């Protein structure tokens, strides 16, 4: 199949995106740092390794090999954040898994959680990273846990949580922000 007849596939490295149209392909490090949201349209900004954490960078989903969507050249949106899940196969991206693990570890450390509580929290973190029927109850439970953490710990946790929560989960948890 000549896929050019369906419009140029900007995700294919054989096609750069010199005209800078449509969605570009994002280059993201394994820890979720956006390296270049327009890796095809502005390839000069590409990096093999992250200049913030040293991890390797990817432009496609490790599970299905489809491109990670980046800047919308036709949209008004500012620099996009890397998505939590692949829009093609639904799997969470590596950085989402790592951030969930980091949030779990920090909660466990600050609240001295036992294994059963950790298991529950792990499921709740999966739910708040998505927009599913369980998201709300998971957000309530996480909010209750968060209320038990004091001062600086709570701020730290909130910072880690924000990065793994879906937009709808954030709105449920912090409706005034």
Residues that bind Zn ion (CB under 5 A): 29, 31, 33, 50, 52-53, 55, 61, 63-64, 86, 88-89
Q: Nearest approach, Cβ of 166 to Zn ion (angstroms)?
A: 17
Which of 88/136 has CB closer to Zn ion? 88
- Per the document, the length of the chain is 177
Which of 46/63 has CB closer to Zn ion? 63
- 3-state SS assignment for residue 167: helix
* Whole-number CA gyration radius for the chain: 18
Q: Which two tokens stand for residue 98?
A: 């790592």
Question: What kind and span of H or E run contains 106?
Answer: helix 94-111
β-pairing, 57-58 with 27-29? antiparallel
Q: Nearest approach, Cβ of 35 to Zn ion (angstroms)?
A: 8
Contacts of 49 (CB under 8 A, 6+ apart): 29, 55, 56, 57
Which of 124/163 has CB closer to Zn ion? 163
Q: Nearest approach, Cβ of 55 to Zn ion (angstroms)?
A: 5
Which of 4/56 has CB closer to Zn ion? 56
Residue 117 exposed, middle or buried by CB count within 10 Å (0-12, 13-18, 19+): middle
Q: Nearest approach, Cβ of 107 to Zn ion (angstroms)?
A: 23
Which of 89/140 has CB closer to Zn ion? 89
Q: Nearest approach, Cβ of 133 to Zn ion (angstroms)?
A: 23
């Amino acid at each position: 199949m000549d896929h050019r007849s369906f419009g140029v596939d900007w995700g294919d490295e054989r096609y750069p995106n010199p005209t800078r149209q449509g969605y570009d392909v994002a280059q993201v490090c394994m820890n979720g740092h956006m390296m270049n949201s327009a890796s095809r349209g502005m390839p000069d900004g590409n990096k093999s390794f992250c200049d913030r954490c040293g991890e390797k960078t990817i432009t496609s989903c490790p599970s299905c090999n489809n491109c990670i969507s980046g800047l919308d050249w036709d949209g008004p949106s500012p620099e996009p954040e890397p998505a939590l899940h692949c829009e093609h196969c639904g799997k969470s991206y590596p950085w989402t898994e790592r951030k969930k693990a980091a949030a779990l570890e920090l909660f466990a450390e600050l609240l001295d959680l036992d294994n059963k509580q950790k298991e529950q929290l792990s499921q709740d973190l999966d739910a708040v990273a998505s927009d599913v029927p369980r998201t709300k109850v998971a957000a309530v439970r996480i909010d209750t846990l968060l209320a038990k953490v004091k001062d600086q710990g709570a701020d730290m946790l909130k910072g880690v949580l924000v990065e793994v929560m879906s937009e709808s989960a954030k709105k449920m948890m912090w409706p005034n922000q």
